[in-house]
Every structure is written in structure tokens, then in C-alpha cells.
Structure 1
Amino acid sequence: MLKFENVIKSFKDGDQTIEAVKNTSIIFNKGECIAIIGPSGSGKSTFLTIAGALQTPTEGDVKINGQSISGMNSKELAHLRLNEIGFILQASNLVPFLSVKQQFQLLKKSKKDVMADSELDELFEKLSLKKVKDQLPSEISGGQKQRVAIAKSLYTNPSIILADEPTASLDTENALKVMQILKEETEQRMKTCIIVTHDERLTEYCDAVYKMTDGILEKQG
């Protein structure tokens, strides 16, 4: 479960103070797939980085499975992210000198509670990645890199999946396939999935849609 309690995130810009995220209190539950839409500069990415414990609120608190991130030091925050959060970013962030298969072996050394090999094989099959397992990131397409990044985010069995434009580099067929997988993983494994997107086709797969405008998050529909 992800809980925001009166969260505000502000930044100094010269003499001005800009509230990127205005006072927000909200709960996202397990088994929910949530979409956040809104124009560029509305605060979506800031909201996502706070949800992922990459930065802490200026005011208020965020609780991840009951753990408050306020007051945690950098080592504690890193441990929380490793164990509880799977990130899917626009940049795939793959290690350039490791093959696709080795990317997952490296993750397994950092975290023991990962998918079984059979589950990973099944995920590779779903994402059409079996043929590129032994290739380097430089040898595969942008869309394949993004699908590897999505597989990595699921492999560590996080309780929360945070996706920033996860299908931006994918064609329509693969984008919808990825959304179907994220939806299934969220429901079957009781995860919380939050997707920031400009692609409103993806909202059809989500349980709820929120719009962010000038730092204010509002539920749609």
C-alpha cells in the first residue's frame, strides 16, 4: 500500500517558491493499476519520484507498506527501493556490457526474493524476449530494451511498480501487450501499479485515472 499524507513538494526558483506537488492525501491499494495523466510540467514526474522514495516531501509524509520515508537516511531509502519498488523509466538504464540474461543475474545477487527461473522464462516469452537473452543492449532495438526494463522491474517482486511513460518507445501492439502484462501482474500478485502516461489508450487497462494539473491530483470519472 502507498499512502500520501498531506504531501507538499516545493522548490526554490530565485525569489519564488514553486509547489510542484500541492497538498495531497491519497491511498493506493494493493491490486490496483492507476494511471496519472496531465500536461508536461504539471508535477507528474515529481509525484512519481516521491512515491518511489527518490526524493522526500517538503511537508507531509509518504508511507510504503506502513513504513514512513520521512526521517530515513539515504541507506535506508536505498534498501526500501530495492525491496519494495520496481521502476520502469523512459530510459531503460541497462548495463551496457552485460547481456540481457546477465542483467537479471546481477539483480539476483542484490536481492534474493526474485522470480523463479521458470517464471522469468514465462515473462520473457510474453514479452517476446527469448531470442535476445544472450545479446548486449547495443545489439537490440529500443523497444526491446524497454521490454527488458519492464521485465527487470517485475523480476524483483516489488510491492509497488512505478512506470514513467513505459510504452513511449513501443509500437501499438507491444504497448498494449505490456499494459496487459502489467495489469495481470498487478492483480495476480497483489501489487500497486502507478503509470504516468500521455497515452490515453493505456487508461483502458487501469482501475482508476487521475489527472495532475499544476501540482493538483484529481480523480477522473
Structure 2
Amino acid sequence: MLEFKKVTKSFKDGDRTIEAVKSTDLTFHKGEVVGIVGPSGSGKSTFLTMAGALQTPTSGRIIINSKDITEMNQKQLSQSRMAEIGFILQATNLVPFLTVKQQFVLLKKHSNQVLKDNTLSELMDKLGLSTIKNKLPNEISGGQKQRVAIVKALYTNPSIILADEPTASLDTDNALEVMNILKQQTKDLNKVCLVVTHDERLKSYCDKVYTMEDGKLSLETVER
């Protein structure tokens, strides 16, 4: 579970104070895919970086699985990110000189709670990645890279998946395939999944959609 309790984030810009995120009270539950949409500069990325323990709020509290991360020091925050958060970025964040298989070997060296080898193999099979395990990132397609990024995000067995514009560089077929996979894995593995996007195509894959404007989140009605 991820909770925001009266969370705000503001920045100084000369003599002005910019409220990037206005007071927010929200709870995100396991098994939910939540979309956050809005124009550039609306506060979406700031919201996501706070949810990912990369920024601390100006005021309020952020709770991950009953732990108040706003009370943590930098070392504790780093440990919390590794244990609880899986990031999926637009750029996929794959190491260019490592094969797909080696990406996971590297992760395993830095975490003691990764998925078992047979679970990883099953997930790779399910996402159609078994045949590319020994290929480098520049040898696979954009859709395949994003699917690998999804598996990487799930590999450390986090409670929360944070996806920042995960389909921005993909065509419609690949974008919808990636979103369908992300939703299915969120349900199957009982994760919290937040998707920040400009992509209106993705709304129908979300259980809830919030629009962010001038730092304020408003719940939309999702059309099915």
C-alpha cells in the first residue's frame, strides 16, 4: 500500500514559491493500476519522484507498507527504493553492453530478494522474451526493450511499480501490448502500479485515472 497524507512539494524560484504538488491525501491499493495524466509542468514527475522516495515532500507524510519514508535518512531511503520500488522509464534504462540475461545477473548482485530463477524464466516465457536472452539491447525491438524493463522492475519483487511515460517511444500496437502486460502483472503479482503518461490510449487499462493540473490531482471517470 502507498499512502500520501497531506503531502505538498514546493520550490523557490527567486522571490516566488512554486507549489509543484498541492496538499494531497490519497491511498493506492495493491492490485491497482492508476494513471496520472496532465500537461507538462503540472507536477506529475514531482509526484512520481516523491512516490519513488527520490524526493522528500515539503510537508506531509508518505507511507509505504506502514513505513513512513519521510522520516528516513538517505541510506534508509536507498534501501527502501531497492526493496519496495520498481521503476519503468521511457528510456528503458538497460545497460547497453550487457545481454538481456546479464541485466538480471547484475541486479541479483545488488539485491537479496529477487525472483527465483524458475519464476524469472516463467515470466520471460510469458512475455515472449526467452528467445532474446542472449541479445544486447541494440539487437532487440523497442517493444521488447520495454517488456524487458517491465521484467526488471518486477525482478526485485517490489511492492510498487512506477512507470514514467513507459510507452512514449512506441507505436500503438507495442504501446497497448506493453500496457496490457503491465496491467496483467500488476493483478497477478498484487502490486501497486502508478503510470504517469501523456498517452490518452492508456486510460482504459487503468483502474483509476487522476488528472494533474497546477499541482492538484482530480479523479476522472474511466470509460470502458
Partner residue of 2:49? Answer: 49
Q: Find out whether 1:101 has 2:101 as its counterpart.
A: yes
Asked whether the 8 Å contact 2:143–2:178 carries over to 1, the reply is no
Alignment-derived partner of residue 79 in structure 1 = 79
In the alignment of these two chains, the number of paired residues is 221
Report what 2:119 is aligned to.
119
- Using the TM superposition, give the Cα deviation of residue 129 of structure 1 relative to its aligned residue in structure 2, in angstroms: 2.4
CA apart distance, 1:182: 1.5
Give me the TM-score of the superposition, normalised by structure 2: 0.93
Tell me the SS of whatever aligns to 2:71: coil
Are 1:143 and 1:169, in contact at CA under 8 Å, matched by a contact in 2? no
* CA distance, structure 2, for counterparts of residue 167 and residue 180 of structure 1: 11
Which amino acid in 2 is paired with 1:147? Answer: R
Shift of 1:188: 1.9
1:119 is displaced (CA, Å) by 2.6
What is the letter of the counterpart of residue 29 of structure 2?
A: N
Please state whether the residue corresponding to 1:218 is helix, strand or coil: strand
Whether the 8 Å contact between 1:146 and 1:169 is mirrored in structure 2 is: no
TM-score (norm 1): 0.94
- Partner letter of residue 8 of structure 1? T
Whether the 8 Å contact between 1:33 and 1:186 is mirrored in structure 2 is yes
Show the counterpart of 1:17.
17
Percent of counterpart pairs with the same letter?
66
- 1:120 CA drift (Å): 2.0
Quote the offset at 1:170 in angstroms.
Answer: 2.2
Q: Residue 70 of structure 1 aligns with which residue?
A: 70
> Residue 91 of structure 1 aligns with which residue?
91
Deviations 1:26-84 (A, max 9, x none): 11111111011111110001000000000000111101111111121111001000000
**Structure 2: distance between partners of 1:142 and 1:183:** 19
Q: Residues 163 and 218 (structure 1 numbering): CA distance in 2 closer, same or farther, change over 3 Å?
A: same
Q: Counterparts of 1:11 and 1:17 in 2: how far apart (Å)?
A: 6
Letter in 1 for 2:69: I
Distance 1:219 1:199 in 2: 17
Distance verdict in 2 for CA 1:173–1:123, change over 3 Å: farther
Distance 2:17 2:141 in 1: 42
RMSD: 1.4
Structure 1: distance between partners of 2:181 and 2:157: 14
Cα deviation, 1:157-204, whole Å, max 9, x if unaligned, reads: 110000011112222222222222221222222110010111122111
Partners of 1:52 and 1:85 within 8 A in 2: yes
* Unpaired runs of at least 5, structure 1: none
